[in-house]
A and B are shown apart, each in its own frame.
Chain A
Amino acid sequence: MLTTRTLITGALTLATLLGVGSRALAQATVDSKHEIHWNRYYTVEQTYDHMRALAQAYPDLIELRTIGQSLQGRDLLVAIITKPGDDHTKKPAMWIDGSIHANEVQATEVVLYSLWYLATYYGNNDDITELLDDYAFYMMPIVSPDSRAKWFEGPSTPNNRRSNQMPRDNDRDGLIDEDPAEDLDGDGSITQMWKRDPRGQWMRDPFDDRIFTRVPAGETGEWTYLGREGIDSDGDGRVNEDGTDGHDMNRNWPADWQPDYVQFGAGAYPLSAPETRAVAEFCYQHPNIAAFQTYHNTGGMMLRGPGTNYRTGAYPRADLRVYDEFGRIGEEMLPYYRYLVIFSDLYNVHGGEGAWAHEGLGVITFTNALRTTGKYFQRDGSRPSDEQMWIFRDRLQFGAAFKDYTEIEHPDHGTVLVGGLNKWSTRSTPVFMLEEEAHRNFAFTMLHGGEMPKIRFDRTNVRRVSDRLWEVTVEVRNDKLIPTRTARARTAGIGAADLLTLRGNRGATVIASGKLDGWWDKTVDEVRFEPDRVRYNEGIGSRGTIVHRFWVEAPRGTRVTLAYKAEKAVDIETTIRLQEPSQRGGN
């Protein structure tokens, strides 16, 4: 699963991250207990059927949970996958979702692939096994099932059904959803309409009549462009301007949420959609979520927040170092993808899900925009030319992205031509490339998820100060890149502080304790109150440690238990005996 290329690029700073262990060589011939074809797309029901089949095939690994109902009553289905028998709530977990924008279809397949891959290779691949042993994953392939259903049923374009299906007076005429799109040629897509017109400004290319070109100034052509396929159902002069699409659920989250007049599509209030509300409540109820990934399309991007320039303060330098490391390796794992910042590289987003996960939950979060045309031709360079795109569509997709022009009778315009690029044309990954796109993105989330905090007691030292007084020094280490408390979490006060405690029997009393800057530091910063129950709001940083010293009054031989609790790590505990000579190494 590791390529030479990633090893070389990562080796300098990431030797520990990538690790080189024994690999189960059987991977190339592993059968899944539930095979899924990755060269096609799946409807809501087909996706859910695959999730149920996977849960049935791997009942010890996968638990399916319905976290709510969509606006139109469809189940909101989440798969929980972790080591059999483990309580997932007591382990760091990664949230992975897709298709909050339903037209960004392949997001669903990428999440479904991730679930399938983890289930299939658990026990067959050491890395995957370790991931599920250490961590849990919460996977929601379809956040907006109503709109996905609508997109598949049609009529759709590559761009509509981005919003949910909340009834809404889009054109503000007092009527709701009264002018939806009409699929006049019955192909499931909304394409273009052209009218033959002896004074028209367009002509059809004599060598390829799919192409309309503007005539030179002063000449007349044969065609006039009528706009999008459809009918002005409400007679207001505009076509398809008030369909069933409602709010943009990726503008509906309680982090810099702004009303509709600032942020188009924001929804009535933060989490007003049942779908976003269900996801948010699940996440709030699972403070063990320590990594977050959401999938979109298009353009090949690994995005992080903030969504606006005035929220940069929510991304302290320590957190950016974590993001940058994932982003840098990610650019190697995902050819033609770029690691970018939403507000400065893309556009302003208020109330986006990814920004909420970072700013509201305090979790390192990536939003991947799937699909690049760079990958179509597998070479760097500028955007592909029209000619290249026609070659791709004709020769590699066998025309599947284009609906040939056909004549239909339009109620307002008479005979018109309808056709053009269909809903699969410009945003979805071509099916023959889907598995690779899914795998590379899945691998990127595992790079990210595999760095959720993993803590252990490292060195401990016991020194006898006087007859009944013992000095106990303890070091707690986080082996991973993601800190137990992100800088965002600790500065904004999100979640509970980490907790280091020392408890002993036989009347052992902690009379003082304090924090040390490092193992060799001589003088502590005293913890004045509750020295036996120390709040570490700062947590344990990226591949870092905390060192703490207790002075304990107790008879020789007393056993004391040290415990460290972090919301985003497995709780750990170690017991030591107060006696000389000092013990080293812990555990």
Chain B
Amino acid sequence: MTRSVCVGGVAAFWVAALAGASIAAPTVERETIGTSPAGAPIEVITIADRGAGMTDPGDRPALAIIAGVQGHHQIGAIVSEALAGRFADEHAETLAGRTLYVIPRLNPDGLARFRSADDPAALSGRAPESRDADRDRRFDEDPPNDLNGDGVITMMRVPAPVDAYGLRATHVIDGDDPRIMREPKDDERATHAVMIEGVDDDGDGRFNEDGWGGTGGGGVDLDMHFPTHWPEHTDGAGMFPLDRPEAQAVVEWLQSRTNIAAVIVMGPHDTIVSTPKSGQYGPAGRVPKGIEKGDGAVYEMAAESFKEITGITKTEAGPDRDGSLLQWCYADLGVYAFGTPVWVRPDLVESDGSDDKGGEDETEQEAGGPTPEAIEAADRADLADRGVGQIFIDYLYMTADERAVTQAEMEAMSQAELETLMTQYSELPEDVQSRLTVIQNGGEDPGPSEEFIAAMGEGEAPEPAKEQKSRGDSPDGKWLAWIDENAPEGFVEWESYNHPQLGTGESGGFVPGVRVNPPASMRETLTQQQTAFAASVLEMLPSLEVEGPVVERVGSGVWRVSITLRNTGTLPTKSAIGVKARRLPGIVCVLDPDQEVDTGNIISGSRVVRFAKIDGRGESERAEWLVVAEAGDSMDLEVRSPLFGTARYELTMEEN
């Protein structure tokens, strides 16, 4: 017989199971998690069901939406705030057993600076900070300048070369639409230099190299300021990762949660429509630059849902940048991290949802089967994907001498390091453990399985050659076509003027942000789309159902205790990167956590049983013990989960 005792958040285990039942209206709470240098609060909005008897929202799987990382991306802040305001009304059912967090403005100073009417608007998303980008001991002394006094910083096109300043021609004026500056074709000669509007304020021969919105300086780009692949000593990256309080606050807050399963970042990067590549790592070899292979299916599922809801089939957003919040959320926090610009160039949105996505990984195939080098490379990548530590992978492929050195190093390790290594070893997949055992016994590494090698040859068929684009019009041309129709104030016509240093030139071009932030009339549609997508992600989050615990009599005084944990959600309880990153424990089942029973009486099964993850769609894990006890004795069983909280059950040793 089993009786559950509420400890911490047991009810979380049940809420998901009761999703069909009526639930109270979710409520919205705001808390401040940090303050920007200018004194603006950074707020988290928590949307969760707080009905009587409910568990803490921190003990439920959660989605976090973060926006306003880069100040010029105003639409993300606007849409996420609107989403937070209406989500509880429109999608209450998805909050059964789940929590939604929204941080609409991570970079309040940058958002305010972009909107500020006091200065000409420039295209910069940075958090303002004086950094002396050109290291000449003068700070912010050469920003862009609003030469034509129209209140915005646009571009200049200057007939080049201008020898005094070493300016070279790089562009031509497009013949069809003279508003467009483009690179010359093979049979053309460049005629103009294109630069940000401004003068050489400090007389050092360079233009706009140190100041807000210029080619350098003006602050810290929070999307280059996170530790993952941080681009050190690059303008905008900051003195050190998370130096800025906004970035530090969001990292500390996210790390203090154990229940976040997925993050959506609304900003200039896209990792939804184009699934990031797998198999690419930073220099240390293990931290992904894209995603882990094992997470690909989830990203594709999210992409499908996203495309269906928004109609967005492509974005102009370049690949995600080093040091971005997105990269950190994925590769360090270890959760699914989806990035979307929210709004894209309107001609990239299709209502019929047809797509022609490309960019699949190419698989090389060698005649006569893969070479040993290819097998090693594939095996290494596969092992890394499966979360095998680099030290073990390297060990498999070492020479005997190198292994001797490694063993000597291990002898010099501290107790803590050794213990960690042993834990890692005990958590290795069985096939890897057995390979290591062979080596340890003086044998040769048997290598990966034959099935694995055979599967290497079965790469997907190469994509047919892409159709040559028939339309010659450029992205700029398409933007202009849309602007002419919908936002005529979004382009400043080129107008000639006399530049004090460069002579005659013209200034004009796209108004800063016009290709990032849509007209106000589109906000409602975009909010609807993003709200629906957030709901679809929430619905995919894992749900845990507990079967048992069950007590069975095995023989006189011996009892079998078992518990089955089933994930009825779509996503696994941990992403592949989460398993690899090991930031959080898996799901831990502990028999007799208070150690009231002599350890010797647990005759089979470890007192503490760990599951790294439980896959979704009904997959399960089961823990089992044999216990010596008198009939009628009682014993506790505790289940601990970062996503679902802790539950405790009291078991009585008696026949069911």
Q: Is A127 an interface residue (CB 8 A)?
A: no
Interface of B is mostly: loop
Given contacts A163-B416, A170-B420, A497-B135, contact A259 B640 (CB under 8 A): no
> In the complex, which residue of chain B has the Cβ closest to the Cβ of A233?
B595
- Bound CA span A142–B242, Å: 25
- In the docked arrangement, what's the CA distance between A284 and B233, Å? 13
Q: A172-B423, A270-B242, A496-B132 are in contact. Are A529 and B607 (CB under 8 A)?
A: no
Q: Mark B582-607, 1 if CB is under 8 A from A, else 0.
A: 11111010101001000100000011
> CA of A339 to CA of B239 in the docked complex: distance in angstroms?
31
Instruction: Bits for B281-298, please: 1 = Cβ < 8 Å to A, else 0.
Output: 011111100000000000
Are A360 and B416 in contact (CB-based, < 8 A)? no
Indicate if A120 sits at the interface (CB-CB under 8 A): no
Partner of A173, one of B137, B242, B585: B585
User: Counting CB contacts under 8 A, is B402 at the interface?
Assistant: no
Q: Which residues of A contact B414 (CB under 8 A)?
A: 159-160, 162
B204/A529 in contact, CB under 8 A? yes
Bitwise interface map of B from 331 to 350 toward A, beta carbon under 8 Å scored 1, else 0: 11000000000000000000
* Residues of chain A within 8 A of B419, CB atoms compared: 170-171, 238, 241
Q: How many A-B residue pairs have CB under 8 A?
A: 153
In contact, A262 and B240 (Cβ under 8 angstroms): no
Q: A235 and B607: CB pair below 8 A? A: yes
A172-B586, A173-B610, A497-B136 known; A254 vs B241 contact (CB < 8 Å): yes
Q: Which of A245, A280, A499 contacts B137 (CB 8 A)?
A: A499
By beta carbon, the residue of chain B nearest A499 is B137
A160, B390: Cβ atoms closer than 8 Å? no
- Is A372 interfacial (CB-CB < 8 Å)? no
Report A521-549 residues with CB < 8 Å from chain B CB: 528-530, 535, 537
Residue A585 CB within 8 A of the other chain: no
Measured between C-beta atoms, what is the minimum distance from A310 to chain B in Å?
4
Whether B415 pairs with A159 at a CB distance below 8 angstroms is yes
Nearest residue, chain A, Cβ from B226:
A269
Considering the complex of A and B, which 4 residue pairs feature the smallest CB-CB distances, nearest first? A529-B205, A174-B640, A254-B240, A236-B608
Q: How large is the interface on A (under 10, 10 to 19, 20 to 34, 35 or more residues)?
A: 35 or more
**Among A265, A269, A284, which residue has its beta carbon within 8 angstroms of that of B227?**
A269
In Å, the complex CA distance between A268 and B202 comes to 42
Task: List 28 A-B residue pairs with CB atoms under 8 Å apart, sorted by A's residue number.
Answer: A160-B414, A160-B415, A169-B585, A170-B416, A170-B419, A170-B420, A171-B423, A173-B585, A174-B641, A235-B607, A241-B419, A254-B230, A255-B232, A256-B284, A259-B331, A260-B581, A261-B286, A262-B287, A264-B420, A265-B416, A269-B332, A270-B240, A284-B239, A492-B232, A493-B233, A496-B135, A496-B136, A499-B136
Whether the pair B233, A260 counts as a contact (CB closer than 8 A) is no
B284 and A347 contact, CB distance less than 8 A: no
Chain A residues with CB below 8 A from B200, complex form: 529
Q: B interface, how many residues as a size bin? A: 35 or more
Q: How far is the CB of A317 from chain B (nearest CB, A)?
A: 19
Bound state CA distance, A264 and B422, in angstroms? 13
Q: Which of A138-190 contact B (CB under 8 A)?
A: 157, 159-160, 162-163, 169-175
* A174 partner residues in chain B, CB cutoff 8 A: 585, 588, 640-642, 646
Give the one of B137, B389, B414, B417 with max A CB within 10 A.
B414
Q: Cβ of B204 and Cβ of A530 under 8 Å apart?
A: yes
Chain B residues in 8 Å Cβ range of A493: 135, 233
Most buried by B among A173, A240, A269, A493: A269
- Chain B residues with Cβ below 8 Å from A269 are 227, 241-242, 248, 251, 255, 332
B472 on the A face (CB < 8 A): no
Cβ < 8 Å to A, chain B residues 197-254: 200, 202-205, 227-228, 230, 232-233, 239-242, 248, 251-252
Chain B residue at smallest Cβ distance from A169: B585
The CA of A259 and the CA of B641, in the complex, are separated in Å by 22
Known A-B contacts A269-B251, A494-B233; the reply to A261 vs B416 at CB < 8 A is no
Whether, in the assembled complex, B314 has its beta carbon less than 8 Å from a beta carbon of chain A, the answer is no
